[in-house]
Structure 1
Amino acid sequence: MLVRDVMSESPVVVHARARLSEAAELLAGHTVRHLPVVEAGALVGMLSDRDLRSVMSPRLIDEASLDELRSRYDAPVSEVMSPDVTTVHPETDLSESIDRMLDLKVGALPVVDPGTGELQGIVSYVDLLRALREKA
């Protein structure tokens, strides 16, 4: 089985200059956990709900921490995203994709065209579990 057989096509993406508050709305509104980050149409990073939580959750709630939290929500996605993104191709074998996800401890991999590098989709652990369920 190949990545193209299970990937989610046309994933929800976020622009690198978008504010973190916009990314949070996209994650919640589309019930996804991973957003490919694009700039000028090119994949430049990944943002996960975990990345967002790591910078958004205040330690103690007081006026100073609320001000800091507000400023974090205005920060660009590019400040928090993971810029070193491992990708797969539609023709990548699923077992190779699973190995990469396990080795890197990530929940999703962007799927790109091998010739152009254009984002074609995303394969997540949820996609893999669905494929497994259908085979069972």
Structure 2
Amino acid sequence: MPLPRIRAAKLMTESPRSVRVDDPIGEAVDVLQTTDFRHLPVVDELGELVGMLSDRDLRALELPYAEDAAAVNAALQKARVPVSMMMSSDVVSVGPDADVTELMELMLDNKIGAVPIVDGEGVLLGIVSYVDVFLGILGGA
């Protein structure tokens, strides 16, 4: 049975929370910990998509319980590095007219859980997660 034709624009979360490429990684961690997001687009000063951060990318920052000041200090230093040091810069993105089938193929082929939606200049418009795809198909978006 073929999937219904559903455009990315219909599924996407518009104007998603993002971070700038030069923001401290601690800010990105805070955003991911205080929201239900697992993927965070990274944009430059013009709003163009330049990278992605996922909760997977940030696992390296998690510290086991540390009693000594040196370990705590090391964690604080890591939190100050710019997002650009930990983001994935090889980002798969599509335009708002992309079909749900294309989104699914990209997610499966690239083993990613979300695809940013950009305009013709690369400016971030939205993001579609695998949950959005699943709910869109079930709900007949």
TM-score (norm 1): 0.90
Alpha-carbon shift at residue 69 of structure 1 (Å): 1.4
Identity of aligned residues (%): 42
Indicate whether 1:72 and 2:78 are aligned.
yes
Which of residues 62, 68, 84 in structure 1 aligns to 2:90?
84
Match of 2:104 in 1: 98
Instruction: Give the RMSD, CA atoms, in angstroms.
Output: 1.5
In 2, the alpha carbon distance for the partners of 1:43 and 1:87 equals 9
In 1, the alpha carbon distance for the partners of 2:103 and 2:72 equals 40
Alpha-carbon shift at residue 25 of structure 1 (Å): 1.4
Alpha-carbon shift at residue 61 of structure 1 (Å): 2.9
How many residues align? The count is 133
Q: Which runs of 5+ in 2 are unaligned?
A: 1-5
Report the secondary structure of 1:89's partner residue: coil
Indicate whether 1:117 and 2:129 are aligned.
no
Q: Any idea what the Cα deviations from partners look like across 1:57-103, whole Å, max 9, x if unmatched?
A: 23573423322211111111110000111101111111111101111
Match of 1:127 in 2: 132
Give the AA of the match of 1:66.
V
Q: Which runs of 5+ in 1 are unaligned?
A: none
Indicate whether 1:38 and 2:43 are aligned.
yes
Match of 1:47 in 2: 53
